[in-house]
Amino acid sequence: MVRNFWSYFCRGRRKKFYSLLLLFLVLLNAMFYVSFLLYTTIQKRNKKAWHERLQFDQDSYVDNSGMRVVVGHYVGGNSGGNLSDDTINSNNYAPISGAGEGGRPVQLSPREVITARELYPLHSYNILVSDRISINRSLPDMRSESCRNVQYDIENLPTATVIIVFHNEAWSTLMRTLMSVLLRSPEVLLKQIILVDDASERKYLGKELENAIVNLGKVQILRSANRTGLVGARLMGARAATGNVLVFLDAHCEVTQGWLEPLLDRAGSDDVFICPHIDLLSDDTLAYTKSIDAHWGAFSWRLHFRWLMPSKEVMLTKTENPSKPYPTPAMAGGLFAVRKSLFWRLGGYDENMTIWGAENLELSWRAWQCGARVEITPCSRVGHIFRRHSPYKYPGGVAKVLNSNLARAASVWMDEWADFFFKFNPSIAAIRDQQSVAARIELRKNLQCKSFKWYLDNVWPQHFFPADDRWFGRIRNEKGSCLGVVSGTPGLGGPAAGVGCGGDLDVERLLVYTPDGRIMADEGLCLQQGNGRAVWKSCNDSKKQIWNQKGPRLKTQDGLCLTQLISDSKDGINDPLTAKRCVNDNGQIWHFERVPWR
Ligand SMILES: *[C@@H]1O[C@H](CO)[C@@H](O)[C@H](O)[C@H]1NC(C)=O
Ligand SMILES: *[C@@H]1O[C@H](CO)[C@@H](O)[C@H](O)[C@H]1NC(C)=O
Ligand SMILES: *[C@@H]1O[C@H](CO)[C@@H](O)[C@H](O)[C@H]1NC(C)=O
Ligand SMILES: *[C@@H]1O[C@H](CO)[C@@H](O)[C@H](O)[C@H]1NC(C)=O
Ligand SMILES: *[C@@H]1O[C@H](CO)[C@@H](O)[C@H](O)[C@H]1NC(C)=O
């Protein structure tokens, strides 16, 4: 039968025609298959964990459209360039029925996109889109199955005062933050909402805002006559709070179903600063997107906040009990809840920190070192607009404000690691002595807080800072180049290459070498044996990140030698690194040059 079938087709010219047709179909199929593969890999790449995308650079990460995104949202910025006073001060909220409902994105026509771009610097998010979405818009229930099944004893939870600080926020965004809290918090648990106006200049945030909230009940406005910054404004709110628990929210958030109960449940225990799981509100379309579950907060050598992969233990807990709050070394700072008594007992905030920056690290270290905890509950989901840069003005300049705050936090809490921080940041060290921190050091003494070493050893043992039980310095190849992350490239996943060695203060060239054989750079990067080339990857337990020192060589688990390849340049700078068979080659000889880290 089969042979008959083929013999029918495979005769003479017909045979040629059908063979060609067959070949064509096979090729067509292959093409489809290849494009399918391409599509799925692109999909996979786009799905890459956002915390992985978040840790590239000092202040920003490169998202999948190649855009640099600043994580801290008070950093940098202008306030709208040439926009007229009328434009800046007008409230153009005009909701279109259905727009953005269910957390869906809002798309603009090409013409509107042009206007949106002009207005973008005003808030660093798409104000045209925000003004179209109802302040009462619906959002999907973002909780996992297991979170939805948790039963809270609502009658016995402590009550909440929600504190929202704003400075020149857009009307629609601020109101949507407020309405989302009112719409999605159980009546009995929400004691009050305090809006704190940090000296906004926009007209619509004056009387017009007061008229809008007058009938909402529970909502009040406090106004600071002078620009005081996040810390001063939050302290104002906290002093006026009558609820048992303070819940701090940024002014460009939207809370989802069931967000409050898990926060209050955990904050009730009086020893924890509890953060919600932060999802993403697109700064362009205001679409609500889920962020990856596996992240916690920490910081780089320069004390920039970073989202990183949590410890193995935390990952395990998350798998076994996905609704359980888990510890984090640091909080992002914008959103958290804490029992009022604990907040004040631990010293509130450092009131001499101005505008924004470093207050989240100061609070995190203080909490852990002074006997409390910082945790994230995966069951409370709040969307937050991450802005590409800050639209705010910094009185006195960004660097001065941020550096003063960093200097304060480091000098009070970091012990020997403060010396490390100041050694490699001379411009911050220069203003260290201008800070009067005696009152905060007194607080630390009175609360009998633990050391920063205790914090690193116990709260963040996976940290990538130098320490006394680790080697720190420069790893120089016999041919002249050094090991390091090529500057100006996204370090993560980047192929490793030889770099110039620099001086003792070139912190980018300095590495930690751990007793178990890991070569760590700043940002939690570890040198990893790849396919062919060595690469910089997030540090994890992989055996491919172990490099054993054998004489002057660095050997992988399977006995290969770390090798600096050499092209024209002879010294190996910009040339690839690889692991290959150990031979008599200077590219395999490494010198460990210790550099004192403090
Ligand atoms: C301000 O306006 C001028 C001329 O209209 C234009 O060239 C310039 O790009 C504008 N600057 C900003 C920051 O928008
Ligand atoms: C939003 O909800 C509040 C309270 O239910 C209501 O008073 C208000 O009219 C609503 N606003 C809009 C724009 O839907
Ligand atoms: C607050 O601002 C007013 C006028 O704007 C000024 O006179 C006063 O000194 C400021 N107060 C502080 C504490 O900066
Ligand atoms: C803030 O600074 C002032 C003036 O320098 C100082 O008197 C005060 O003790 C400081 N407060 C804290 C909490 O450090
Ligand atoms: C470590 O990370 C790499 C990718 O960077 C991954 O392929 C590997 O599975 C991880 N290993 C462990 C033990 O987590």
Q: Is 311 in the pocket of ligand 5 (CB under 6 A)?
A: no
Residue range 43-53: average pLDDT?
39
- Mutate which of 540, 546, 557 to test ligand 5's pocket (most atoms within 8 Å of Cβ)? 540
How far is residue 344's CA from residue 238's CA, in Å, rounded to a whole number?
9
Is the per-residue pLDDT at 64 higher than 50? Answer: no
Q: 271-311 pLDDT, tens per residue? A: 999 999 999 999 999 999 988 877 899 999 999 888 888 89
Ligand 4 atom at minimum distance from 443 CA: 13
What value does the mean pLDDT take over residues 512-539?
Answer: 91
Q: How far apart are CA 228 and CA 465, in angstroms?
A: 33
pLDDT at site 3:
52
Give the closest residue (by CA) to ligand 1 atom 8.
82
Average pLDDT over every residue of 41-65: 36
The predicted model scores a pTM of 0.85
| Contact by Cβ (8 Å): 71, 386 | yes
At 518 the three-state DSSP class reads strand
Is 542 close to ligand 5, i.e. is its CB under 6 Å away? yes
- Atom 10 in ligand 2: residue holding the nearest Cα: 136
Q: Which ligand has the shortest distance to the CA of 524?
A: 5
How much distance in Å is there from the Cα of 82 to the middle of ligand 1? 6
Q: What mean pLDDT is predicted for residues 410-438?
A: 95
> What pLDDT, on the 0 to 100 scale, is given for residue 487?
61
| Nearest ligand to residue 201 Cα | 3
Give the number of the atom of ligand 5 that is nearest the alpha carbon of residue 528: 5
Cα separation, 385 vs 458, whole angstroms? 32
CB 373 within 8 A of CB 367: yes
Choose one of 404, 412, 434, 436 to mutate for the ligand 4 pocket test, by most ligand atoms within 8 angstroms of C-beta.
436
pLDDT 10s digits, 341-375: 999 999 999 999 987 789 999 999 999 999 999 99
Q: Which residues line ligand 1 (CB under 6 A)?
A: 81-82
Host H or E run for residue 171: helix 171-184
Nearest alpha-carbon partner for 450 in 352, 370, 365, 537: 370
Distance 169 CA to ligand 4 centre (A): 29
**Whose CA is closest to 178, among 148, 217, 120?**
217
**Residue among 537, 542, 557 whose CB has most ligand 5 atoms within 8 A, to mutate:** 542
Expressed in angstroms and rounded, the spacing between residue 253 Cα and the centre of ligand 5 is 33
Q: Is the pLDDT score of 492 beyond 80?
A: no
Whether residue 542 has pLDDT greater than 70:
yes
**Count of beta carbons in the 10 Å neighbourhood of residue 501:** 19
Distance (Å, whole) CA 224 – CA 168: 13
Q: Is 30 left (phi over 0), alpha (psi -120 to 50) or beta?
A: alpha
Spell out the residues 6+ positions from residue 218 whose beta carbon is closer than 8 angstroms to its own.
182, 190, 191, 192, 193
> What's the 414 CA to ligand 4 centre distance in angstroms?
19
Closest CA to 264 of 332, 330, 191: 191
- Between 88-97, 207-216, 504-513, the lowest mean confidence (pLDDT) is in 504-513
| pLDDT at residue 392 is higher than 80 | no
The answer to whether 546 and 538 are in contact (CB under 8 A) is: no
CB neighbour list of residue 512: distance below 8 Å, 6 or more residues apart = 464, 465, 466, 470, 471, 472, 518, 519, 520, 521
When the pLDDT of each residue in the chain is averaged and rounded to a whole number, the result is 86
Poorest-pLDDT segment among 28-42, 159-173, 274-288, 413-427: 28-42
Residue 136 CA to ligand 2 centre (angstroms): 6
Q: What angle do CA 560, 561, 566 make, to 5 degrees?
A: 130
Mean pLDDT of the region 174-182: 98
Rounded mean pLDDT, 541-565: 95
Residue of 82, 87, 389 with the most ligand 1 atoms within 8 Å of its CB, for mutation: 82
- Which residue in this structure is represented by tokens 């909220």? 93
pLDDT tens, position by position, 314-342: 999 989 999 999 999 999 999 999 999 99
